[in-house]
C-alpha cells in the first residue's frame, strides 16, 4: 500500500472538492434529465405502435406519424387479407375529435377505433371496464391522463364527442401520444358514425399480422403491389418514422443535443477550473514531488486520480439527483426514461470529461521547475 | 568523496542578457562530513545547491556522486537514489500526517508497503516525534515541521543530504535544537550534509565552512 496523496489532497479542501463534484453532478443530472425526457417523449410518440400487436402497418401515402393520419377506403383491407401469409388484417382509425365538456369547454381527444381491440392486444393498462364491451353501444374507454384537461370523470359518466353523447365504460392508464391529447378508445363503426363526413367508408390504417414463418419482405412487396397509393412499414420502421417526425419538425433533437452539449461544457469548465486552480495552489507540493525524485508521471497520476474520483462522486450524485427528480416529473406527466446502457455511457463519459479537464493541469505540471522548492 | 564538482559554471539568459551566476566551482564533501555553505544574497549559493541536488544542470563542468558523473538525462533517478532535501519552507504535504509525509517520499523512491511504514516510523522516532506522527503539518510547530522534513530527507538512506536555510523560519533556540539533531543524525548515519545558510549558528555544527562570493568559492 502506498500513501494516497491524490485522495487525501483532494479531500483536504472539502469546499473545493464539493464544488468540483457539484460541477460534474450538475452536468450528469442535466444529461440524464434531458436525455431521459427526450426518450420519454419519444416513447410517447410511438407508444401505441409498440403496444399494438401488428407486424406491418399500411398507411396512406406520406403519413408523417401515427397521430396525423389520413383516410383511405376501408375496403382495401380485403386486398391485404387475401395475401397468403397474412394471418389477420384489420382497419384502425386514429382521428382527432372534439369533446364538449360539462363545463361548456371544448377539448380534443385522439380516438383509436378498432373492431376488436383484444385481437390486437390493445390498449395495455385497462384498469376498469372491458374493451370487448365497446361493440355493444355508444360507448368509449378513456385514458386517465384526460383528467388533467377534462376534469374528473368516472365509468358511467357521459361525454359529448362531435355532438354525440357517449358513455364512458372503462379507463386505461399510460396510453399516451406525443401530442399530449388524451386517448379515447371506441368501436370502429362508432368512430365512423361520429365523424361521418370524413370517416364513413374510410379507415386510416390497416394493421397486418403475419402467419408464423411468413416471408415479411415478400408480403410487404405484395401489399405495395396491390395498394400502390399506400405506404407499408414494419412496426419498427413506423415507430421510427413517427419519432423522427417529432424530432425533426419540433427541433426537439437539436434542443436536446444543445442542452447536453452545454451541460457537458459547464461540467468540463467547472472541473477544469477547479482542478487547474488546485494545481496552481499546489505547485510547490508538485515541485517537492519532483525534488524528492518523482517525475511528471507521478504528478499526472495524482491529477488523473483526483479527476476520476471527482467524476465518480459527481456521477453518483448526479444520477441520484436525476432519480429524485423523476417522481416530480411524473406528477406533471413527464416521463423520464433512463436505460441501463445509458448509465454506463454517462459513467464513462463523466470520467472521460474529467480526465479531459485535467489535461489542462497536466500541461502546467509538465512545466514545473523543481528548483521552485528553493524559493521562499 | 561522495560528492564532487569540477569547474561548475552556470549561466542564465534573460531576454538578450546572459548572467553568469557560477564562475567555476570545485567542491567536494565526504560521507559523514558537514559542510556549511555561506554567502550573501545573490552570491549563487542556492543555484549551486540546486546543481548539487541534481535539480539544475550546470552550463559547463561536472558533478560526481560516489565517483560517477551525473547524467543529465537521469536527474530524477539520481535524486531518488542519492539525495535528501530539507527546505527553508519545510514543503510538507499539508494533507498528509507527519508519518505519511515521510512514507510518501519513500513511496516515490520505490519503497512501499510495510517496508516504507517501518522506515518512516524509524526516522520519525529518530527525530523525536513519535508521539506526533499522526499529526497534520498544520498542528505542528515550526521546529516540529522541520524535524519531519529532516526525517523525510533521512528516510531511504540517501548518502547526501542538502539543506537550504533550514533554520530561517525557526527561532534561535529551536533552530539550535534542529541543527544539533541534524548533525547527530547525519554523523550517526554517515551521510554527507551540505547546508546553505546565512545563520552563523550553523558553523557550530559544521566540520567545514565554505564561502561563496560572486559565483566563486572564497579561499
In a domain, A206, yes or no: yes
| Three cell numbers, residue A245 | 417526425
Confidence of residue B219 (pLDDT cuts 50, 70, 90): low
Q: What is the mean pLDDT of residues B25-36?
A: 94
Cβ atoms within 10 A of the Cβ of A306, count? Answer: 26
Query: Are residues B77 and A294, on separate chains, in Cβ contact within 8 Å?
Result: no
Kind plus residue range of the DSSP H or E element containing B2: none
Q: Judge if A23 and A80 occupy the same domain.
A: no
Q: Judge if A184 and A112 occupy the same domain.
A: yes
B218 vs A3, higher pLDDT:
A3
A355 vs A268, higher pLDDT:
A355
Q: Which B-chain residues 137-176 have CB contacts (< 8 A) with chain A?
A: 152, 164-165, 168
Q: Judge if A215 and A325 occupy the same domain.
A: no
**Nearest alpha carbon to residue A354 among A281, A278, A289, A282:** A278
Residues of A in contact with B77 (CB under 8 A): 293
CATH superfamily of B34-55+72-218: P-loop containing nucleotide triphosphate hydrolases (3.40.50.300)
Q: Judge if A172 and A288 occupy the same domain.
A: no
Q: Judge if A166 and A33 occupy the same domain.
A: no
Query: Are residues B85 and A376, on separate chains, in Cβ contact within 8 Å?
Result: no
Integer CA distances (angstroms), B56 to A367, B86, B108, B167, B210, in order: 14, 17, 20, 23, 20
Query: Are residues A8 and B49, on separate chains, in Cβ contact within 8 Å?
Result: no
Query: Are residues A291 and B53, on separate chains, in Cβ contact within 8 Å?
Result: yes
Residues of A in contact with B50 (CB under 8 A): 371, 374
pLDDT above 60: residue A376 = no
In a domain, A10, yes or no: yes
Integer CA distances (angstroms), B143 to A28, A374, B139, B204, in order: 47, 18, 12, 19
Share the mean pLDDT of chain A: 91
Q: Judge if A173 and A257 occupy the same domain.
A: no
Query: Are residues B91 and A373, on separate chains, in Cβ contact within 8 Å?
Result: yes
Chain A residue with the nearest C-alpha to that of B50: A371
CA distance B179 to B157: 19
How many angstroms away from the CA of A12 is the closest CA of chain B?
A: 6
Q: Are A33 and A193 in contact (CB under 8 A)?
A: no
Domain ranges of chain B: 34-55+72-218
Residues of B in contact with A278 (CB under 8 A): none
pLDDT value for B2: 93
Chain A residues with CB within 8 Å of chain B CB? 1-3, 5, 8-9, 11-12, 284-285, 287-295, 298, 370-371, 373-374, 376
pLDDT above 90: residue B8 = yes
CA distance A371 to B83: 14
CA distance B138 to B148: 12
Query: Are residues B112 and A2, on separate chains, in Cβ contact within 8 Å?
Result: yes
Chain A residue with the nearest C-alpha to that of B120: A3
Q: Are B165 and B199 in contact (CB under 8 A)?
A: yes
pLDDT value for A170: 97
In a domain, A296, yes or no: yes
pLDDT value for A263: 80
pLDDT value for B11: 92
pLDDT above 90: residue A335 = no
Mutate which of A374, A375, A376 to test chain B, going by most B C-beta atoms within 10 A?
Answer: A374
Confidence of residue A119 (pLDDT cuts 50, 70, 90): very high
**ipTM entry:** 0.87
Chain B residue with the nearest C-alpha to that of A6: B95
Q: Judge if A169 and A221 occupy the same domain.
A: yes
In a domain, A284, yes or no: yes
CA distance B56 to B50: 5
Instruction: Determine the straight-line distance between the first and last CA of chain A, rounded to whole angstroms.
Output: 33
Q: Judge if A368 and A256 occupy the same domain.
A: yes
Confidence of residue A361 (pLDDT cuts 50, 70, 90): confident
Which value, in Å, is the radius of gyration of the alpha carbons in chain A? 29
Residues of A in contact with B165 (CB under 8 A): 376
Question: Can you say whether the dihedral through the CA atoms of B37, B42, B43, B47 is positive or negative?
Answer: positive
**Nearest alpha carbon to residue A350 among A323, A317, A324:** A317
pLDDT digits (tens, 9 = 90+) for A13-57: 899 889 888 888 988 898 898 889 888 888 889 999 999 999 999
Of A213, A228, A243, which marks where a domain is finished? A228
Total tally of structural domains belonging to chain A: 2
pLDDT above 60: residue A241 = yes
pLDDT digits (tens, 9 = 90+) for B132-147: 999 999 999 998 999 9
Edge-to-edge, what's the strand order for the sheet holding B60-65?
B17-29, B3-14, B60-65, B68-69
pLDDT above 80: residue A336 = yes
Q: Judge if A94 and A15 occupy the same domain.
A: no
Number of residues assigned to chain B: 219
pTM to 2 decimal places: 0.78
Cβ atoms within 10 A of the Cβ of A323, count? Answer: 14
Chain B residue with the nearest C-alpha to that of A290: B76
Q: Judge if A262 and A139 occupy the same domain.
A: no
pLDDT value for A35: 87
Q: Judge if A29 and A158 occupy the same domain.
A: no
Share the mean pLDDT of chain B: 91
pLDDT value for A239: 96
In a domain, A237, yes or no: no
Query: Are residues B104 and A298, on separate chains, in Cβ contact within 8 Å?
Result: no
Mutate which of A291, A294, A309 to test chain B, going by most B C-beta atoms within 10 A?
Answer: A291
Confidence of residue A370 (pLDDT cuts 50, 70, 90): confident
Cβ atoms within 10 A of the Cβ of A373, count? Answer: 26
Kind plus residue range of the DSSP H or E element containing B129: none
Q: Are A291 and A5 in contact (CB under 8 A)?
A: no
Most confident of A70-74, A358-362, B107-111: A70-74
Kind plus residue range of the DSSP H or E element containing B74: none
In a domain, A245, yes or no: no
Q: What percent of chain A has pLDDT over 90?
A: 59
Of A196, A228, A260, which marks where a domain is finished? A228
In a domain, A259, yes or no: yes
CB contacts < 8 Å between A and B, how many? 81
**Nearest alpha carbon to residue A42 among A237, A143, A178, A145:** A178
Domain of A21?
Answer: 5-44+251-374
Amino acid at each position: 500500500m502506498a500513501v494516497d496523496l491524490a485522495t487525501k489532497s483532494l479531500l483536504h479542501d472539502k469546499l473545493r472538492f464539493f464544488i468540483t463534484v457539484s460541477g460534474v453532478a450538475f452536468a450528469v443530472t442535466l444529461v440524464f434529465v434531458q436525455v431521459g425526457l427526450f426518450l420519454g417523449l419519444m416513447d410517447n410518440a410511438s407508444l401505441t405502435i409498440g403496444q399494438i400487436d401488428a407486424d406491418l402497418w399500411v398507411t396512406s401515402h406520406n403519413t408523417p406519424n401515427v397521430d396525423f393520419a389520413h383516410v383511405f377506403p376501408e375496403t382495401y383491407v380485403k386486398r391485404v387479407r387475401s395475401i397468403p401469409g397474412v394471418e389477420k388484417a384489420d382497419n384502425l382509425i386514429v382521428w382527432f375529435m372534439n369533446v364538449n365538456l360539462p363545463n361548456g369547454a371544448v377539448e380534443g381527444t385522439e380516438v383509436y377505433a378498432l373492431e376488436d381491440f383484444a385481437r390486437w392486444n390493445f390498449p395495455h393498462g385497462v384498469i376498469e371496464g372491458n374493451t370487448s364491451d365497446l361493440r355493444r353501444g355508444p360507448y368509449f374507454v378513456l385514458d386517465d391522463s384526460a383528467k388533467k384537461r377534462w376534469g374528473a370523470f368516472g365509468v358511467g359518466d357521459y361525454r359529448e364527442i362531435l355532438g354525440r353523447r357517449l358513455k364512458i365504460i372503462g379507463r386505461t392508464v399510460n396510453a399516451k401520444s406525443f401530442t399530449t391529447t388524451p386517448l379515447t378508445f371506441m368501436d370502429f363503426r362508432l368512430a365512423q358514425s361520429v365523424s361521418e363526413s370524413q370517416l364513413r367508408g374510410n379507415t386510416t390504417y390497416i394493421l397486418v399480422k403475419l402467419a408464423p414463418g411468413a416471408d415479411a419482405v415478400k408480403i410487404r412487396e405484395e401489399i405495395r403491389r396491390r395498394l400502390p397509393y399506400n405506404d407499408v412499414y414494419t412496426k419498427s420502421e413506423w415507430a421510427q418514422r413517427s419519432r423522427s417526425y417529432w424530432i425533426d419538425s419540433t427541433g426537439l433533437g437539436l434542443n436536446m443535443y444543445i442542452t447536453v452539449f452545454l451541460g457537458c461544457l459547464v461540467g468540463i469548465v467547472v472541473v477544469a477550473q477547479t482542478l487547474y486552480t488546485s494545481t496552481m495552489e499546489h505547485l510547490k507540493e508538485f515541485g517537492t514531488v519532483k525534488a524528492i525524485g518523482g517525475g511528471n508521471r507521478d504528478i499526472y497520476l495524482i491529477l488523473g486520480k483526483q479527476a476520476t474520483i471527482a467524476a465518480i462522486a459527481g456521477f453518483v450524485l448526479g444520477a441520484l439527483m436525476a432519480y429524485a427528480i423523476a417522481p416530480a416529473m411524473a406528477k406533471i406527466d413527464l416521463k423520464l426514461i433512463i436505460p441501463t446502457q445509458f448509465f454506463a455511457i454517462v459513467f464513462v463519459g463523466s470520467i472521460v470529461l474529467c480526465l479531459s479537464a485535467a489535461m489542462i493541469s497536466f500541461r502546467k505540471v509538465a512545466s514545473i521547475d523543481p528548483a521552485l522548492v528553493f524559493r521562499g | 568523496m561522495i560528492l564532487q564538482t569540477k569547474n561548475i559554471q552556470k549561466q542564465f539568459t534573460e531576454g538578450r542578457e546572459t548572467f553568469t551566476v557560477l564562475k567555476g566551482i570545485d567542491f567536494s564533501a565526504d560521507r559523514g562530513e558537514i559542510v556549511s555553505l555561506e554567502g550573501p544574497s545573490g552570491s549563487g549559493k542556492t543555484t549551486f545547491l540546486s546543481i548539487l541536488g541534481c535539480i539544475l544542470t550546470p552550463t559547463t563542468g561536472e558533478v560526481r556522486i560516489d565517483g560517477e558523473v551525473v547524467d543529465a538525462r537521469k536527474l530524477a533517478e539520481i535524486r531518488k537514489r542519492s539525495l535528501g532535501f530539507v527546505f527553508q519552507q519545510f514543503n510538507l504535504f499539508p494533507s498528509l500526517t507527519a508519518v505519511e509525509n515521510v512514507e510518501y517520499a519513500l513511496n516515490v523512491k520505490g519503497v512501499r508497503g510495510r517496508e516504507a511504514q517501518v522506515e518512516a516510523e524509524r526516522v520519525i522516532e529518530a527525530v523525536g516525534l513519535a508521539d506526533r506522527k499522526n499529526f497534520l503539518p498544520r498542528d505542528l510547530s515550526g521546529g516540529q515541521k522541520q524535524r519531519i522534513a529532516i526525517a523525510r530527507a533521512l528516510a531511504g538512506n540517501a548518502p547526501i543530504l542538502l539543506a537550504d536555510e533550514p533554520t530561517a523560519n525557526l527561532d534561535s533556540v529551536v533552530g539550535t535544537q534542529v541543527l544539533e539533531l541534524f548533525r547527530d543524525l547525519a554523523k550517526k548515519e554517515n551521510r554527507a550534509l551540505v547546508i546553505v545558510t546565512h545563520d552563523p549558528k550553523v558553523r557550530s555544527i559544521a566540520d567545514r565552512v565554505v564561502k561563496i562570493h560572486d559565483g566563486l568559492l572564497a579561499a
